[in-house]
A = this chain, B = another copy of it.
Amino acid sequence: MVTKQFTGSPDEADLRRADSLAREIFADVANKWALLIIEALGERTLRFSELLGEVEGISHKMLTQNLRMLERNGLAHRKVHPTVPPRVEYSLTEPGLALRRTVDTMCDWTHRYLGHIEASRSRFDA
């Protein structure tokens, strides 16, 4: 489980707070776009427009929204070059890189079980 149960311990309130925070973070991060962005940024630093092309199917709006969220949580770093036209580069922070490693294993998993899953689907759909 994401959350562990603490009952009756001294600073129970603090622990419950950490608990709900953990759930919030998990909900932030456990979504398709966020994970795909993290995966893309793991390769190298990317500009906004590059990400838009790199993350298959994402819209302008969703990209901005998720980048803000990642920045707020300290997973991505936003570097603005004060040039004209503006140039903004996104990269992963240490926590972001750590998360990226687990996303990697998720991608590996996907490819490893592709066959199993496709077979299971055919069986189920029958």
Contact = CB atoms under 8 A, between A and B. Distances in A.
Nearest to A107: B2
B25 A114 contact: yes
Contacts of A39: 1-2
Interface string A24-57: 0111011110011001100100000000001010
A116 interface: yes
A64 interface: no
Interface of A: 1-3, 18, 21-23, 25-27, 29-32, 35-36, 39-40, 43, 54, 56, 71-75, 95, 98-99, 101-102, 105-107, 109-114, 116-121, 123-125
Given A2-B39, A74-B120, 9 more contacts: A2-B36, A26-B32, A26-B110, A30-B32, A31-B32, A72-B120, A74-B124, A95-B117, A98-B109
